[in-house]
Amino acid sequence: MESALPSPSKWRVRRTIARKEIVTIAGHKNYLAPLLIPILLSLLFRLLFGALNADEGVVLLVVDPGNSALAAVLEQAPEVEVRRMAGEAEMLAELAGDATGGVVIPVDFDTAVTANQQPPLTILLNSEARESNKAILQKLVSEQLWISQYDTPPARLSWQEYQTGSAAFAAYSVDNYLYFLLVLLSITTVGVVILPQMMLEEKEGGVLAALLASPADYADLLLGKVAAAFIYALILAGVITVLNQGYTGNWWLTAVATLLVIIFSLAVGVLFGLWAETKGQCHAYSAIFVLLLNMPSWFSVVPFANLSPILQAVLRLIPTYYYIDTLIQSLNGLVDPAQAGFNLAVLLVSGVITWGIVSWRLRRVAVVSI
């Protein structure tokens, strides 16, 4: 008597489906092109801003009444232009211009350094300066010059963002705005555009019945596709974050919020895939939802309080608004723990509710009709 071959485990089946879908997306131009657009836009904007600001170097304003050795060392560095200021008031006024940062070196700084007292030294960073220039200045002072000049760090160095413009607009910059636009666009493209189309592939191709005759049921097919989309969304969001320096500030808060919005976006995409009958139908409605989910990023360049009350009310109804608000707080170091916690809770609840609707829909719809 012949024994039946053992059926593969559910997780093995789902991993196999996920690997297949990952390869399919990478080799399908209709899927790959939308994934590459946010990356290409990031690279294009980096080149554009680099060309526009090619003449903007790293400028450090120094107030040094004691003629310290530190100021002399900084002046020798070719990467930074040191401008000496007569006093702190002049330095703060000049900091609102093209300067990257400014520092007031105490009169007794060298004496304290010689005595190994490690005196505190605060460097102010222009809130409107380019992020790359800030990074160069921080690396230059913290790692290169100080390590080569002294055996141990001569001072307890701290960096503070100086609000050079209007306090209401201090948290908003073009660099951050582009990151908000592109990271949310990439996530919603994967979740709301590509995932539903993946779900309709077998249905339109007439091979769904054959696939269901294999050890995989519809839930396995669905979870495999969702896993593949999740991996692509995570990778794409990571690449966009690196290209646009979205890892600055409270990176862990950015990471958690991004993970939650990916989960929510995938749930929305699954609902579209279950509801749509054809790819054409899916294209039309997913495009509308992509625009809707990305709307909060369009208005992230201005303070929320400056928007009309009606627009504020509309944006608060869109779960991705709470993602963008979290990114604004995270990237600019202006985190309100209560508000950030509320934002994450909204994203989590939105994902749970949407996946709950997916589960309900799956139980009500017969496999043959799906």
Q: What is the pLDDT of residues 228-244, one digit of tens each?
A: 999 999 999 999 998 88
Long-range contacts of 110-117 (CB under 8 A, 24+ apart): 110/66, 110/68, 110/69, 110/70, 112/155, 113/69, 113/70, 113/150, 113/154, 113/155, 116/152
Provide mean pLDDT across the span 34-38.
85
Lowest pLDDT segment from 249-253, 255-259, 262-266: 249-253
- pLDDT tens, 207-222? 444 444 455 566 777 8
Strand 101-104 to 120-126 pairing: antiparallel
- pLDDT tens, 137-184? 777 776 544 554 555 667 777 777 776 554 444 445 666 788 899 999
- pLDDT tens, 265-322? 999 998 888 887 777 777 778 888 899 999 999 988 777 777 889 999 999 999 999 9
Query: How many C-beta atoms lie closer than 10 Å to residue 92's C-beta?
Result: 17
List of domains in the chain: 10-47+171-369 (no CATH), 56-165 (3.40.1710.10)
Query: What is the rounded average pLDDT for all residues in the chain?
Result: 79
Taking a C-beta distance cutoff of 8 angstroms, is the pair 228, 18 a contact?
Answer: yes
- Rounded to 5 degrees, φ, ψ at 125 are -105, 135
